[in-house]
Structure 1
Amino acid sequence: MADDERRRMVRPPTGGESSGRSVGQRLKAARSHTASSQHWLERQLNDPYVQRAHAEGWRSRAAFKLTGIDDRFHLIHSGMRVVDLGAAPGGWVQVALKRGAALVAGVDLLEIEPIQGAHLIQADFTAAGVGDQLLAALGGAPDLVLSDMAHNTTGHRETDRLKIIGLIEAAAAFAVANLKPGGGFVVKTFQGGAAGDVLQQLKLAFTDIKHVKPKASRADSSEIFLVATGLKRC
């Protein structure tokens, strides 16, 4: 979660050019920060995916997680409808549109700067009526539901585990209830964080389930992504 919390606090790049300040200058300016903040900043500045995202105009390094997943599973197709849960700052929305999605509806607790071709909502996805807003924005059932949602950790392992499971359950329930037959679902989880009951339900609902850790996911992060394809309809 730490990576996602941090990336959402950084103002998205507006283009591919540098900010005009050197890495050394930015590190010098960061010396007044706490040790943990400075460590995170140093890691960001030295991260090749952060540098690529800035150079290529992506809003976050997380864009490369989705491109890595899509390169493997070929989930995004021309003309499809996509829902993005936990969409801020918009990197996954950008990827979906660039790879051919016709309509993308995204939601996050944080405000998302507008992206042409996307309908973006600032709201709690788990609140009543928000799911309906997303479906209305698409004008029909989605072909793909993406969830990069995460929560603010409390430091209490069991509490955090239950919150992780709650978000996965909410995203999975939305996907199963609303996807078109044959549709796909991608959800972020964490090693040891997903409940067996949720996984079992998804195995019943989809024809294939895979776990993947994209190259862009940091090695020291426990995050993994569950990719479910081929939604069944009775």
Structure 2
Amino acid sequence: MRLDSTPVLAAKTVRIVPTSTRIGSHGFNARDLALVSNAIDRAICTNLSDRFQIVPPSQPADLVIHATVTDIVATNRLAAAGSIAASLGASVADLGVPIPRLPIGLGGLAIEAEALDKDGLQKAAMVWSRGANMITTKARISTVGDAYSLSSTFAADFSRMLVKGKDPFKGIPAIPSMQKLRVSLGGNPKYDACRVFGRAPGIPGMVAARFGLPPTWVDKGAVASR
């Protein structure tokens, strides 16, 4: 992590360059990769809206944000299906105890992201990677299921660094703002510039995650071609 707090805290406007990938196809479906990249952008746009004004690509901004996916570890769909079946079986049996995922075939995500000022100088950067875990990452029957879930975790960490101007991994996470809650439920984003990333799946997305359905079933992705 790198952070120049003074200019970051002084910034008022942000422009988001769509996330790119550096991994090639690697056997992943192009639509799946685009969905993960868009989920990152949408979450960053929503989180940064708490403090910054998000401007469209045609306008100058105090900070320009760009993230690059450097690696995706595929989720094993058969293992995910087994975990989902065990979890649903426990629910039907009313055991009252959460069933962890099978400790095999867990996916992961690695990203590099930076914030540049008007002169193109780097004012903040983060190299981030994380793997799914058996307890808190819900299994989804998709090769990018875990990467899709982790995209929001990365966006929260990176955005918190810019919003607070300090290490995002220290301190207690803040309570989600009303605009974040509204967007998470499928509402319109605070700024029009975020609309290009589409709406969050909302309640249908939560239901789909509960039953382990692929994110492509409920997430419509970006509303315009990149």
Q: Which structure has more helix as a fraction of its residues?
A: 1
Fold equivalence (TM over 0.5): no
Q: Which has the higher contact order (CA 8 A, sep 6+)?
A: 2
TM-score, L = length of structure 1: 0.27
